Structure 1
Amino acid sequence: MPTCARDLLVSQSLIAAIKKRHADVELDVMVPSLLAPLATRFPEVNQVFNAPEPSQGLGLHWHVGRNLVALETHYQQAYIVPQSLKSALIPVAAQIPHRVGFRGPWRFGLLTDIRLPPKYKALADQYASLAYPHGQLPSAWQAPTLSLHIDTENQTHLIDQLDLAPYAEVSTRPLVILCPAGVQESSRQWPIAYFARLAAALIDQGCRIWILASYKEVQAAEQICAALSPSQQEFCDNLAGRTSWTDVVDLIACAQALVSNDSALAHISARLARPTWIPLGASDPEYAAPQGDQVHLLTYEALECQPCQRPRCQASTQLACLTHLQPESILESLLAQLKMQAPPVATAEAISA
């Protein structure tokens, strides 16, 4: 399976398509150990195995495949999503007779059913096509509705462990989660100052804020908290660097709304059917962005270069696709979803004052 969280979540479409065609089949997946807990939340999955990291050697990948033989797993078919030699080596070592995947370097002879990447625009449809003969989705194809398991016991534990007791105020203070990081490309990073302005306006309107980010992105979360007044900070909980993937799933399930970059956290929110707002920037809304009735994809369509899909902006306007998506573009519709009236959004100067 894919080696990053966002692609793993997108590839759930393949798992769901296989399950749709073969309801009685037990599906096991193999992903890098850091993503394994997230894969356990897929309702279609029976068992999760740890895969070597892509940077690790061919010998270890072969050894992992041989371990599957020792476990007497007796798999009949493997779907290999990454297009690398190493990922295709594991099912060969595991003696799995039918091995399906896309064409990639040095994979001839390792795959028994090798496919050209299909021309479907959505990455989820490209992955799902592996489940069908010749990579052709049915003419009446509709993307499956995807979900994730929620662990209510872990929710309760987290609220206590992370000192989130004010969550009990949710009846009077709707909970909005902000995910200000989760992307490596500057062309997909909504300005941190905009997250701060949105947080201040939501708190002033009566919302509680949780900030979710990884340990690598603590600084971005701290910048948002620092921009709030002392009274506003009482209603903002910074959870950056304090959660695992499974914790994130259970915490997002608590929210009434979520605002995120185009990241794995936005996909998790969409899987949980939470109202989700995503400033896209350079991302193509039809390629790998989250989908669903509760997903609001925000784009600045006045630019000819958008969506460019480039990691860095090369236009003279310098990230106008993101900077023109002001907090007001999210605040009004988000509060309407919460049945609240939108107040004026504070300027950056007012927040800093």
Structure 2
Amino acid sequence: MSPLPARGSRSPRSPKKVWRAVQRLFDFAVAARDRAAELTPLRRFVETHSVLKAMGNLAGRAVLDLGCGSGQYARLFRAEGAGRVVGLDSSKPMVEYASRWEARVRSGITYLCGDAAGTSREAGPGPLRGFDLVTAVYLLPDASCEEEFAAFCATARQALAPRGGRFVAVTLNPDFATCPQWYWDYGLTLHTDQPAEEGASVLLTTLMGNHVVQWTAHRWSVAAQERALRRAGFSTVDWSCPEVSAAGRERLDNGFWANYLTRPHSLIVEAVAEPGVGPFRTDPRSRPGTPAATAVPALSRGFLHGGRFGSPVPSRGRAAGRSESGEGDRADGPPGLPRSGPPVDLPPSHPFSGGAL
């Protein structure tokens, strides 16, 4: 017979109860971060608006969200009328969080834990087949080498239905501004001490209310990304800049958005797969040396602005420091500021240090 606990002492909590308490704390932290992210101007007025615009009508569409994280976009796609929605992420805690959310709301979303760079090697029909649309919001910059980037693209292509479909991704703009305060007003800083070469590391710091999230991304040129997409079996690849929604322009004036629209930190790529062209049947245009594979507009001399490649527009924002000529490296920033530096700590007076929006 086990001895009774001493008066005033607590019985040890079972491992299951401890694990449930940890889960509740984790869920609370992720939910608070997601809510803070939804209030930032970039997410609220630019990113979400631009992604939905690029995806078009989702009614009844089958959508796969690669790198779904906590499931924010998967839930948004479902709310926009998508039929079958599947989210894939390599983080088991995030997938479990999204699954617990789904168990409460029962919206019909399936969440899977797996590596988007590894699922392309799976053969035969399965949960990652037969989609009309595949999305990846900031997944492609996770690739640290060309092989991993190519695997992400192959996974997206193989997940589409035999009749073809589209891959819509938000990726890092390789021509981002390196001035440490360029994105200050938008609660974002980017820092790199490496030359602008393929796969170079870039530290992104996002400030969402009281939450600070840092992420190491990798810089890939437009040409390198387009080559990988074509070799994966995508027939056409189109690029566009993020746009500010009408609500965003009404809430915040053009002066606020000027810097970001001049040099956004991200680009949207839309790759189309035609029937019969895919990972098992190579598109002739993807072969090296063909005009379609080599005539890729570069961002080194002109910036992709307003949905087309052209000269950058001088910024009149609060961190503007661009010359009117638009020549040279577009990392000048305000006079007297270093061309590159570590992430900037925001003071309490900064609009996003306390979630002003």
**How high is the TM-score relative to the length of structure 1?**
0.28
Higher-strand-fraction structure: 2
- Flag the structure with higher helix content: 1
> Quick one: higher RCO (CA 8 Å, sep 6+), 1 or 2?
2
